[in-house]
Amino acid sequence: MLLLTVVYNSSMECIIGEIKDIKKCFEHKKMILGIAECIIEDTHFIKFFCGDDNLSDSSIKMFNLNIANMLYKIVIREFCKKEINDFLTETYFFLGYDELKQVKPRIQEALLNEGSIAGPNAVYCMNRKNSIMDKITKCIEENKEINISGFLTFRTKALKTDLECMVDKVVEEYMVEKEYNEFIKLLKYFVDIQESKVDEINILIEKNGEYYLRDEQGNDLAGDMLMELPKVKFDSKENTEELIISTMITSAPKKIIIHCAHNCKNKELLQTISKVFVDKVYYCEECTACEKIKNSIKLR
């Protein structure tokens, strides 16, 4: 049975590798996918066949999904090659040349689902990709022949909104990362110009994620800082973490020891400390204080 005819011109020979991958996918499922090619001048006609004994709703669905994925990759490559520059310069005109140069590869990687974006934004982009895949699959189901040039010309307009929304998320994450790196540089600058007031700071993290800041004599540094700021309330986890950073920036310690880091609920806090103080940060899991934490003995 003829499943589909794909028409393309010689400028899209990258499609050959995708077709081979589709054939391998069927072979892996112990199914035979027949492929016949006919070339008329510059136009290639690829016909996909499957025997009736191998044909089922699930095999047709698998075939359509593979073809949709192939078309999706072609759409992304064309979008990144022909449209991404105009979209970025119009929407993100405040980004400099070097910034655009950095963000464009990240956009392509994210659109092709090859990493470069994480967390909630990764889920968002995956949902958008699934929306595009559904639209492409519907197009395949409605037609027995797909002309790739025609598809790119007439069908991609319906996909443009989803693509641009994904680009927005990548740029948004890039900007957040850029601002974070600038923040780290600023903190490092403040540390560098400060004269060290404390030789050693110990950050002790209890099982519930509660923090304690002690100097090498065991004095409560956070408590001392609160005494200096009587009108400021530090009654939330975020406030406490800000206090920790502030204490260490103003103290500019020569050495920082983080005890029981695995208890930390906010890994970004430890990441920030490590980036600001670099080779001054050490991790401990086996001292007396760590044993107290592991045995749920309240630190005093």
Q: What is the mean pLDDT of the chain?
A: 85
Burial class (CB in 10 A: 0-12, 13-18, 19+), 12: middle
Domain end marker among 187, 206, 221? 187
- What is the CATH number for 276? 3.30.420
Q: In what order do the strands lie in the sheet with 200-205?
A: 211-215, 200-205, 255-259, 281-284
Q: How much is the average pLDDT of 44-64?
A: 83
Contacts of residue 83, Cβ cutoff 8 Å, sequence gap at least 6: 160
**Domain end residue (candidates: 144, 162, 187):** 187
Inform me whether the pLDDT recorded for 117 exceeds 70: no
Average pLDDT of span 233-249? 71
Residues 72 and 176 in one domain: yes
Number of domains comprising the chain:
2
Q: Closest by alpha carbon to 164, among 68, 75, 69?
A: 75
Same domain, 16 and 152: yes
Condensed to tens digits (0 to 9), the pLDDT of residues 165-179 reads: 999 999 999 999 999
**Residues 29 and 131 occupy one common structural domain:** yes
- Check whether residue 182 and residue 247 sit in a common domain: no
Mean pLDDT confidence for 195-202: 90
User: What local confidence, expressed as pLDDT, does residue 54 receive?
Assistant: 66
Q: Could you identify the residue written with the tokens 């078309």?
A: 71
**pLDDT at residue 115 above 70?**
no
Give the tens place of pLDDT for each residue, 76-112.
Answer: 988 998 899 999 999 999 999 999 999 999 898 888 8
The whole domain housing 206 covers 195-294
Contact indicator for 250, 194 with CB cutoff of 8 Å: yes
pLDDT at 232 (0 to 100): 42
Same domain assignment for residues 33 and 159: yes
Whether residue 56 sits in one domain with residue 172: yes
Shared domain check, 181 and 32: yes
57 vs 178, higher pLDDT:
178
Q: Are residues 223 and 215 in contact, defined by beta-carbon separation less than 8 angstroms? A: no
Domain membership of residue 300 (yes or no) is: no
Instruction: Clarify whether residues 130 and 237 are in a common domain.
Output: no
